[in-house]
Structure formats: C-alpha cells, structure tokens
C-alpha cells in the first residue's frame, strides 16, 4: 500500500458500483425496521465518486485532443450536431437508473459543449438580449461553452452567419399558437444559410416581480406576443394593471426589476439572469405552448435516418388551374410525406408567391432526391433550405 495514500475508513469501497449496503452501519434500528445509513460515510463515498468523475472528464479531454487532430487533418468541423444527437440519444437510452433523464441530458450537453471548446472557438448568434427564449434555445442546443453573440433582430442573426461573425445562429421559425415567424422564413428564402437542426422548446411564461403578491402589481411589462398568449390570465388576475409593451420579454423583466410595483411576463431564465423572482409560473392561456427553433449554418447536415427537408419553389404558371395540386402530387408519387406548407410573397414580383414545404427525409435519401429532381422540371426557383435531424430527438426524452 502507498504510505502517502490517505487512509480510508473501513467499509468504504473505491468501486462506485458497490452496493449502498456497504455504507449501512449497525446503528439502532428505527421503529419501521429500516437500517439507518451513516451520513459521514455516505458523503465520503460521494466525494470519492465525484473525484472519479473528474478523473474521467480529464481522460475524455485527452481523447478529445486526438479527435481535434483527426478533424484538422480531414478538414472536418469541430462541432458535429449529428454525432452529438446520436450520442445523447444513446446515453439517454442507457441511463435507466435512478438519475433523472433530463439531468443526464443537461450534464452531458455541458460535457459536449466543453469538449467542443477544446477543439475550436464556436460562435453562436441568437436573437437577444440575454434571457429571451431564443437565448434559452441556444443554450439548450450548445450549452455554456460557445461565445454567444446577441443580435437585435432575426435579420441580424442571419447576417452574422452569412458574414462569418458567427459559425451558427439560432432563430425562432414557428410557434404552436401564433404560427410562422415571417421574418425567419423570409431570411431563409433570401439565401446564404441552411437549416442544420431544429429544436422544439416548450414556452412557459412566468410572471416575474419583486412584489410578494398580485395585489401589489400596478404595471405588467412584456412583448406583445407574450401578452397576447397570457390575455385570459391577465384579465382574470390583473384586470386593473397597466400594460406596457417592450421589445422583448427579457427587456420586460429588466424593466420590472426596477419598478417597485411592476411585473413582467417572461422566462424563468431571464429572472435568473436579472435577479427578478418568479411570482407565478405557467401563466400562458394554452397549456402547451411551444416554439420551433432552427439552428442555421452554411453547410448541410449529414443524414441521420430521421430527417426533415425544407425547400421552396414558385409555381411556373400560377394561373393554371390545379397547378399546385399536380405539383404536390410529385411528392406522393415518390413516397415522400409532406408535413407543412405555407406561402410567402415573392420579393421580385407583386402577387407572386413562394411556397415553403417541409417533408420527411433527407435530400440525399433516394425518394426525396427523386422527388426534388422531378419538381425541378415543373417549378421555378426550387431551393433546398436544409436537410436536418427532425424533432423529436434526444431533447424530448
């Protein structure tokens, strides 16, 4: 035995898989007959496990160094969203013990984020400021390690990626109650960026304030969309409060934090960042309110087997009766399932429309590739905006 090694108390094993019975000592048995564990020994065991976790993280970082050198030799990017998605799904499937799956996801997302930062500096633009739901979505996708760039507008996020200020961007594209985010759709149509991944983030609006009861609230600050989604709650609980519009929910929380009689509708993340307590949670009128966010970049995502493709086109002759029906029939003919369709005004001619389509599958899949090739002979300006892993994925488990 190494004389320099600290002595361990009897009954404490170095093996983290050892049974909890190893820390049960023959203390007096309570009335229910359950043995009482020794708290000091249990904490010593936890310290030993934590030390092992740190050692394994250091070992992982060493292996990441080899991964970095291999990627540099092949020209592969430091961040591989498809690999991360597969890794998280595998870990969640394997994590069948008592440790909560959401916590497994959070822990390993930060491990992955830290390891990516060892390979290269990753910059991510999002619709700011800090504490917005876009900020929460970016952190859910990338963790804490990247360098984040706040942008004041959705167009600003796209420009950051187009000009190379950011490697990736995160923008909202659709809300379950309010519909599509037109600015994001139009920016995608404009070009220069591709969808790399999607995330559906549940939107849980909170009422945040420094006051202790609803009766003290005189003003409610928030973005118009958040106010609209909490209209019934406000009418029933704060009918006399003055409504103050702000440019974002995060700015609303900041305003409420400096108002002795103010409250804000926003995210718990904004309250955490700005030090404003949550007075009420989940005040949205529709219980399930979610926003679909997309991660944008300049390159295509690789096929995963569970993908979605978004593309646009213009009908060659919009006056032809049944033209859209026959065009969409190409998808059915090739066994491609369409999950979403909408139209946006074309910017090059009045009363002309760009159709935006989501289908299941990757552009490299045989049936999707065949459908796109057939469409190209029937329509104008066919453009693939991205093929990417579709939701639900690891985040929903």
Do 113 and 127 fall within a single domain?
Answer: no
Please write the tens of the pLDDT for every residue from 196-207. 999 999 999 999
Residue 365 gets the label, from left (phi > 0), alpha (psi -120 to 50) or beta, of: beta
Q: Look up 293 and say whether it is catalytic.
A: yes
With respect to residue 12, please indicate whether it lies within any of the assigned structural domains: no
Do 103 and 164 fall within a single domain?
Answer: no
Please write the tens of the pLDDT for every residue from 52-61. 999 999 898 8
Q: What is the CATH number of the domain that holds 332?
A: 3.30.70.260
With respect to residue 290, please indicate whether it lies within any of the assigned structural domains: no
With a CB cutoff of 8 Å and minimum separation 6, the contacts of 300 are 194, 196, 363, 386, 387
Do 194 and 223 fall within a single domain?
Answer: no
Q: Look up 246 and say whether it is catalytic.
A: no
Lowest mean pLDDT among 65-69, 117-121, 202-206, 367-371: 117-121
With respect to residue 63, please indicate whether it lies within any of the assigned structural domains: yes
Do 114 and 184 fall within a single domain?
Answer: no
380 annotated as ligand-binding: no
β-strand partners of 294: 171, 198
Quote the pLDDT of residue 117: 77
With respect to residue 352, please indicate whether it lies within any of the assigned structural domains: yes
Output the average pLDDT for the chain: 85
Helices and strands, number each (H, E), in the chain: 12, 15
Q: Are 386 and 310 in contact (CB under 8 A)?
A: yes
71 annotated as ligand-binding: yes
* Domain limit, last residue, from 184, 202, 220: 202
- Of 132, 246, 249, 291, catalytic: 291
Q: How many domains does the chain divide into?
A: 4
- In this structure, the strands spanning 219-222 and 147-151 are unpaired
With respect to residue 149, please indicate whether it lies within any of the assigned structural domains: yes
Do 307 and 323 fall within a single domain?
Answer: yes
Provide the pLDDT confidence category of residue 42 given band limits of 50, 70 and 90: confident
With respect to residue 34, please indicate whether it lies within any of the assigned structural domains: no
Q: What is the CATH number of the domain that holds 140?
A: 3.40.190.10
* 231: containing domain: 206-283
With respect to residue 17, please indicate whether it lies within any of the assigned structural domains: no
* Domain limit, last residue, from 178, 202, 226: 202
Do 192 and 179 fall within a single domain?
Answer: yes
With respect to residue 127, please indicate whether it lies within any of the assigned structural domains: yes
Q: What is the CATH number of the domain that holds 76?
A: 1.20.59.10
115 annotated as ligand-binding: yes
Provide the pLDDT confidence category of residue 356 given band limits of 50, 70 and 90: very high
- Of 293, 309, 311, 327, catalytic: 293
Quote the pLDDT of residue 120: 74
Average pLDDT over residues 137-150: 88
Do 242 and 271 fall within a single domain?
Answer: yes
240 annotated as ligand-binding: no
Q: Are 200 and 291 in contact (CB under 8 A)?
A: yes
Average pLDDT over residues 39-68: 88
52 annotated as ligand-binding: no
* Domain limit, last residue, from 159, 187, 202: 202
84 annotated as ligand-binding: yes
């Amino acid at each position: 035995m190494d004389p320099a090694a600290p002595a361990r108390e009897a009954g404490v094993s170095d093996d983290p898989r050892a049974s909890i019975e190893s820390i049960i000592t023959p203390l007096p048995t309570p009335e229910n007959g359950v043995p009482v564990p020794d708290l000091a020994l249990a904490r010593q065991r936890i310290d030993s496990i934590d030390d092992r976790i740190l050692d394994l993280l250091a070992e992982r970082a060493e292996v990441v160094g080899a991964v970095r050198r291999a990627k540099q030799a092949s020209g592969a990017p430091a961040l591989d969203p498809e690999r991360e998605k597969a890794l998280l799904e595998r870990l969640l499937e394997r994590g069948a013990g008592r440790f909560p799956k959401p916590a497994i996801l959070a822990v390993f997302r930060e491990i992955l984020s830290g390891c990516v930062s060892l390979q290269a500096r990753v910059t991510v633009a999002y619709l700011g400021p800090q504490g917005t739901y876009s900020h929460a979505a970016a952190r859910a996708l990338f963790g804490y390690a990247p360098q984040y760039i706040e942008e004041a507008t959705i167009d600003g996020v796209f420009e950051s990626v187009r000009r190379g200020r950011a490697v990736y961007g995160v923008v909202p594209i659709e809300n379950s109650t309010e519909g599509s985010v037109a600015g994001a759709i139009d920016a995608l149509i404009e070009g220069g960026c591709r969808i790399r991944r999607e995330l559906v983030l549940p939107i849980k609006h909170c009422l945040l304030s420094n006051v202790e009861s609803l009766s003290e609230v005189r003003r409610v600050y928030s973005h118009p969309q958040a106010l609209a989604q909490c209209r019934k709650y406000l009418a029933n609980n704060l009918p006399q409060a003055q409504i103050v519009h702000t440019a974002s929910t995060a700015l609303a929380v900041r305003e409420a934090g400096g108002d002795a009689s103010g409250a804000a509708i926003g995210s718990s993340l904004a309250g955490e960042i700005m030090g404003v307590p949550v007075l009420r949670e989940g005040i949205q009128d529709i219980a399930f309110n979610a926003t679909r966010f997309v991660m944008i970049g300049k390159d295509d995502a690789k096929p995963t087997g569970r993908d979605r493709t978004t593309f646009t086109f213009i009908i060659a002759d919009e006056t032809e009766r049944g033209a859209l029906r026959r065009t969409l029939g190409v998808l059915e003919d090739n066994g491609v399932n369409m999950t979403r369709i909408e139209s946006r005004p074309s910017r090059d001619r009045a009363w002309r429309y760009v159709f935006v389509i989501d289908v299941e599958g990757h552009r490299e899949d045989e049936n999707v590739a065949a459908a796109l090739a057939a469409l190209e002979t029937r329509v104008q300006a066919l453009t693939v905006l991205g093929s990417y892993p579709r939701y639900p994925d690891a985040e929903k488990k």
